[in-house]
Structure 1
Amino acid sequence: MYGSTGATTPDDSERTAFRKAEKKYKLLKNNNNASSKRIIDTHSCVICDVGFYFIPGALSIEEQCHWIKESLISFPQPPNRTNHYAIYGHIHDLFVAAQNKKVLRWQSSNMDKKEVAATTLLRKLRWSTLGLQFDWSKRDYNVTLPHNKIPESLCQLAKRMAAPAMGTGEEFQPEAAIVNYFSSGDMLGGHLDDMEADWNKPIVSISLGCKAIFLLGGKSREDMPIAMFLRSGDVVLMAGQARECFHGEYRFI
């Protein structure tokens, strides 16, 4: 059966506004096409009534270098869990092992002995959790899992960044953090950060390294999101009603 060349496919018609925007921006190849012209590119602070804050260049170059180093060396260290835990358990000193071209050897569930290069594990590192550990299978924080408190220096940074979104006399008290690692072309699809008990407190998101496109939608995936560039050192706060808004990151450049 033939259809007209202008017909809309079922897949297109069934996609939400947020999903259509995701598809458009994750395929963005350069800054010269029409889609890139609609991306907000500002070096000024942005504050929205719904509780969204964009703070460009919030971290100095020295701070960025320090936290990039911590993200690679310290944050994946046990008892913090990473995406590798389910298969390999805790992995110590992954970054150092990768630098030294070492190989991880382990015994699989069927008793086969296997090995994988540390460089491969480092390249495939996708997340690590700090403070209270997040149980991805249950999408909830598991207070029974062994964990260390978030480093005090990171707590102080988060408190400083969260201050604009806090009420008078209130102080931000971070208990958990998730570090996401991205490669060129990766994406973090549209989602809600809805597992915290207190939605009145802000989510503090710090960007380090690659430039990316941030999408901020509404409370429904049917709401068309706005797009903006994020650069290393930029900070995003989502507080108040913004905690209920879908958001994601795309095209790490």
Structure 2
Amino acid sequence: MLSVTPIPAFSDNYIWLLRQDTSDSVCVVDPGDAAPVIEWLEREGLTLGTILITHHHPDHTGGLAELIQRYSPRVIGPHNPSITGIDERVGDGDEIRVMGRLFEVLELPGHTLDHIAFFTAGIPPLLFSGDVLFSAGCGRLFEGSPEQMHQSLSRLDNLPEEALVFAAHEYTLANLRFAKAADPGNKDVIEAENECLRARELERPTLPSTLGRERRINPFLRCGEEGVRRAAAEHGATDTELATFTTLRAWKDSF
């Protein structure tokens, strides 16, 4: 039985911890800070066997050096030589076995050029999407183009609707506020906002989401929907999905 637990870090990061109930060796995804990971492992009497890295930003890699020194884990990440400590560099279509599950690597440029995600088609399917796909949103374009990001999100949109989406940040409520403007009249967005407000009041994460839910509430996956296209057109978009996406992303940056 594979469990996934969020370890909060910084103000809004989640470091996801994967554990098989038959092993004391665990995996973490994007440890931007070593301290909360070490605290969790020491409290639970666990050890760190694997680290997965989605991209080079410091809030995803900052804990690597200390965790490697302390636990000597297997470190898997993208083909980016600027990330020190990776001993298994992977790219699109590669498969890796972690915690007893076979994961496929997806290259998803846009937020950064080196960004990858990890997907396993088990029961349930799991997607560790880093900063590409958030609940009700997507990452900023720091290095890639709108076309690259739109294409990356379209790839994720082809995954099963029951796939659990483990994004790296607790941005959901802010994203839903934008979704109400970008997708006016979408009752699923209002319902999701109410659910997430209740979760945060109870100090619970709004994640994971599911891909099916994201198709209903995430404007960046709904660029072909009439309501989203009309809202984007009011901000200058022409009548194509890519133009709608490009306008939405620029609009969200200053929202």
| TM-score, scaled to structure 2 | 0.29
Of structures 1 and 2, the one scoring higher in RCO (CA 8 A, sep 6+) is 1
Between Structure 1 and Structure 2, the one with more helix by share is 2
- Structure number, greater radius of gyration: 1
